[in-house]
Structure 1
Amino acid sequence: MSGRVVSVVVVEDHPVTRMGIVTLLGQDERLRVAGQAGTGEEALAVVERARPDVVVTDLRLGDGMDGVGVTTALRTRRAAPAVLVLTTYDTDRDIVRAVEAGATGYLLKDADPGDIVGAVVRAAAGETVLSPALAQRVVARMGRPRADLSTREVEVLAAVATGLGNREIARSLFISEATVKTHLVHAFTKLDVDSRTAAVARAREEGLLP
């Protein structure tokens, strides 16, 4: 990419944040913001017109298609742009989802502005942009077997996530308290955790709970 200005499309549902990213990238002579969008669906149309080298997208884009959906859709196109996810979400599940969809990089919005600009340039050059810490987490997460919880175990954990106790869960699911406890024990074992809070957190990481 040496000597050529990198064209970028910015996808961000918050107007003020989007303006800030556009301004940041536009200040660097190596970059040119060719378009911007506030939704995933709008992003696909903007990219079709602008044909950018890189798409910088948030992970969450309100209702409709999210950043992973945008990445998946774009990576199936001929001469697909590199996709750099720039977000506030840093859970292992989100990072892995983005990488598996084909994102070239994943950065957090609190990164140094110079690092964000540099990441866009590197993404355009075909480099993978992940900090060593995030890369290590991705490798560890992808190498860990996915927990295989039963439908009922997921239902029990979903109820736990709402703050219900065992007795309330039993009533809501029309099962006994002893059965609730059994499901929790099985879920704890499969998720390799030892508490209700940890079980809910791990289930969310696994994509089993919203």
Structure 2
Amino acid sequence: MSEPIIKVLIVEDDNLIAKRYQMILSKDPQIACVGRAASGYEGTMLAALYRPDIILMDIELEDKQAGMRATSEILAYMPEIKVVMLTVCETDDAVFRAFELGVTNYLLKNMPADAILSAVKDAYYDMPSLHANIAGKITREFKRIKTAEDSLLRNFHILTMLTPTELEVLDLLLKDYNRQEICKMRHVEPSTLKSQVHSILKKFGKDSVQEVTAVLRELHIPEILAQRKGSLPVRQSTE
């Protein structure tokens, strides 16, 4: 039984690059280039017309996001098509957004011919193999997300250990009130506030208020606290 012919559509606005891909694909008898588009709009139309198995999609076509928009639309209506993104520079944001859209693989345009053919066949057979640079970026991102999740859970646990008074003090600190202002607002002596702040720092395992607020802001906890409490006023800028 003969192997199936893999239908590939090239979406690339640079004529020389598109011809290079056409030449590379033409040398493999298992692959047939069914068309070439020079814009995201044209790529979407040809995808609907030819129903290729694989699309080699440039990110930057008529504008820097055209490839992303075309990919989003194609995969929304034709999810069976596999999209392999092409770019000259694999920035983190572009890589992650592409995979969020559902692309199968992500290649640099200057990859050698065998890597391009392998990417097409791997995508067709649902065995995508990521280039080392891309795989490394994704691994680092998963590690970052896992670290952030652990930090979020840990800090939420600490928040549950704070007394209502400590939570109010922390809320005011997050809104950038200084200690003198907090004493006045809460009608307490500086020594009392100092003791409360010390208790907060001890529970968070930090040496300064700045360390605590920096971590909580990075995790967007002030917004969560605001939704939870909704009673304390937001400090207005005097500038």
Fold conserved (TM > 0.5)?
yes
- Report the secondary structure of 2:120's partner residue: helix
CA gap 1:78/1:58 in 2 versus in 1, 3 angstroms: closer
1:40 aligns with 2:37: no
Aligned counterpart, 2:10? 10
The alignment yields a C-alpha RMSD, in angstroms, of: 2.3
- Report the secondary structure of 1:76's partner residue: helix
Contact 1:59–1:89 (Cα < 8 Å) also in 2: no
Whole-angstrom distance in 2 between the partners of 1:64 and 1:97:
13
Contact 1:106–1:129 (Cα < 8 Å) also in 2: no
**Whose relative contact order is higher, 1 or 2, with alpha carbons under 8 Å and at least 6 apart?**
1
Contact 2:8–2:55 (Cα < 8 Å) also in 1: yes
Contact 1:37–1:46 (Cα < 8 Å) also in 2: yes
CA gap 1:106/1:5 in 2 versus in 1, 3 angstroms: same
Deviation for aligned residue 1:138: 1.7
1:129 aligns with 2:129: yes
**1:50-77, Cα deviation, whole Å (9 max, x unpaired):** 1100000111112385222122111112
Runs (4+) off by over 3 Å: 142-145
Whole-angstrom distance in 2 between the partners of 1:68 and 1:122:
21
Whole-angstrom distance in 2 between the partners of 1:70 and 1:139:
27
Task: Name structure 2 gaps, 5 residues minimum.
Answer: 146-213, 219-239
Deviation for aligned residue 1:24: 1.1
How is 1:1-210 mapped onto 2 (pairs within 5 angstroms)?
A: 3-63=3-63, 66-78=66-78, 80-141=80-141, 144=144
Q: Which structure has greater helix proportion?
A: 2
Number of equivalences: 148
Deviation for aligned residue 1:78: 4.0
CA gap 1:117/1:49 in 2 versus in 1, 3 angstroms: same
- Report the secondary structure of 2:77's partner residue: coil
Contact 2:59–2:65 (Cα < 8 Å) also in 1: no
**1:75-112, Cα deviation, whole Å (9 max, x unpaired):** 11245310001221211111111111111000111212
Please, which moves more after superposition, 130-139 or 29-38? Answer: 130-139
Larger Rg: 2
Q: TM-score, normalised by structure 2?
A: 0.57
Please, which moves more after superposition, 88-97 or 123-132? Answer: 123-132
CA gap 1:93/1:31 in 2 versus in 1, 3 angstroms: same
